């Protein structure tokens, strides 16, 4: 019998691991043989946040697969991603049977397939509403994982990507999971997300970065944390600025920014390496740099709130 592999994107975050598990659960419950032997899979190891959440509930990670595990007659369902650069490396696009995602579509597939794209805060939100449509309830632990995925993707419902559908799914899942203190649960997830105790300064400076082709080549790195003060203490700040200088040269960018985002206080502070960055950042966000730090207030989303003003300032 063929297998239906349900898989998230490479460098998986919690949503990319949990939404496929939830969809596999739903498809096992559905009558008929449209989805033979549905199993959730991942392409790489879990990140520290997902590892901590799975350990809390004693849940095993989905199986790590490679393109070699996918036979010609197997079906692959892409979840939480669609574009080729984020797929299982080497995956034959002939195997792609269905897609469920909440990102911008960037696709050119050879044949028509089923696609569920909704602009909600997480893929797990979409799977929850599909479950509801089919009258299927996740079991308790799966509900807790799905709630974690929603909270992680929407930064505790504070990100600009959050919708009413996310809150609705979250509150229903919290009830099933019997999680009464969602705030404490969110804090636990944030702490796991921002556990940088094992990272070097260079790894922190490259924690989650993108290089943008603005008028000047600009690298923007972001650290989401519940301990912003730690990164801004005199000694740690000096170490990080030193690492930024090295990374700036290594990547050959004109400008480098590290955004330290406090996900609880909803505040971002930019580390400012030199006058070149200072001029652009002050033009983009206003305010005055003090001791190589610029407070840009409640902005949290790099995609929607941090990168665009920098691009504009450079234009």
CB of 66 to Mn ion, least distance (A): 22
CB burial string 38-68: b at 16+ within 10 A, e below:
bbbbbbeebbebbebbbebeebeebeebeee
By CB under 5 A, the residues from 129 to 158 that bind Mn ion are: 153
18 or 310, CB closer to Mn ion?
A: 18
Other Cβ atoms closer than 10 A to 159? 19
The least CB distance from residue 116 to Mn ion, in Å, is 13
Residue 12, SS3? coil
Q: Alpha-carbon distance 146 to 126, whole Å? A: 11
CA distance linking residue 284 with residue 279, whole number of Å: 9
The token duo for 179 is 């999680």
Q: Which stretch binds Mn ion (CB under 5 A): 86-94, 118-126, 156-164, 172-180?
A: 118-126
Tokens matching residue 272: 């400012």
Cβ distance to Mn ion smaller for residue 79 or 284? 79
Q: What is the dihedral of CA 204, 205, 211, 214, to 10 degrees?
A: 140
Could you give the string, one character per residue 70-89, with x where binding to Mn ion holds by CB under 5 A and - elsewhere? ----------x---------
For Mn ion, the closer CB: 82 or 261: 82
* Nearest-approach distance from CB 249 to Mn ion, in angstroms: 33
Instruction: Give the nearer residue to Mn ion in terms of CB position, either 14 or 218.
Output: 14
Distances (CA, A) of 41 to 69, 122, 129, 151, 183: 11, 18, 21, 22, 30
Q: Record the tokens describing residue 157, joined without a space.
A: 């419902």
The one among 5, 15, 62, 214 contacting Mn ion by CB under 5 A? 15
Binders of Mn ion among residues 216 to 245 (CB under 5 A) are: none
Q: Which is nearer to Mn ion, 159 or 228 (CB)?
A: 159
Per CB under 5 A, contacts with Mn ion among 245-274 are none
Position 166 contacts Mn ion (CB under 5 A) = no
The interface region with Mn ion, picked from 122-130, 203-211, 215-223, 241-249 by CB under 5 A, is: 122-130
Choice between 123 and 225, CB closer to Mn ion: 123
Residue closer to Mn ion, measured from CB, 85 or 180: 85
| Residue with nearest beta carbon to Mn ion | 15
- The answer to whether 170 and 147 have CB atoms below 8 angstroms apart is yes
Among 161, 169, 167, residue whose Cα is nearest residue 121: 161
CA distance 263 to 288: 22
Positions touching Mn ion (CB under 5 A) are 15, 80, 122-123, 153
């Amino acid at each position: 019998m063929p297998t239906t592999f349900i898989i998230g994107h490479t460098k998986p975050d919690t949503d990319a691991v949990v939404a496929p598990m939830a969809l596999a659960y739903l498809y096992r419950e559905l009558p008929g043989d449209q989805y033979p032997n549905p199993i959730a899979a991942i392409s790489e190891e879990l990140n520290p946040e997902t590892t901590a959440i799975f350990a809390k509930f004693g849940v095993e990670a989905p199986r790590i697969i490679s393109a070699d595990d996918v036979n010609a007659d197997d079906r692959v369902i892409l979840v939480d991603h669609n574009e080729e650069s984020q797929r299982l490396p080497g995956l034959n696009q002939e195997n792609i049977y269905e897609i469920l995602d909440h990102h911008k579509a960037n696709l050119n597939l050879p044949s028509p397939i089923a696609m569920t794209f909704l602009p909600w805060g997480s893929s797990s939100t979409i799977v929850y509403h599909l479950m509801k449509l089919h009258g299927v309830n996740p079991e308790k632990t799966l509900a807790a994982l799905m709630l974690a995925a929603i909270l992680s993707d929407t930064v505790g419902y504070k990100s600009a990507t959050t919708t009413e559908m996310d809150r609705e799914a979250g509150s229903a899942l919290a009830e099933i999971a019997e999680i009464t203190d969602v705030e404490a649960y969110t804090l636990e997830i944030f702490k796991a997300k921002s556990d940088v105790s094992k990272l070097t300064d260079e790894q922190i400076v490259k924690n989650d970065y993108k290089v943008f082709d603005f008028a000047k080549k600009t690298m923007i790195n972001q650290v989401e944390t519940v301990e912003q003060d730690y990164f801004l203490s005199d000694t740690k700040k000096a170490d990080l600025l030193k690492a930024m200088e090295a990374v700036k040269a290594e990547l050959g960018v004109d400008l480098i920014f590290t955004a330290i985002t406090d996900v609880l206080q909803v505040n971002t502070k930019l580390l400012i390496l030199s006058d070149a960055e200072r001029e652009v950042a002050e033009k983009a966000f206003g305010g005055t740099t003090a001791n190589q730090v610029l407070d840009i207030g409640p902005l949290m989303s790099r995609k929607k709130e941090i990168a665009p003003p920098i691009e504009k300032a450079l234009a």
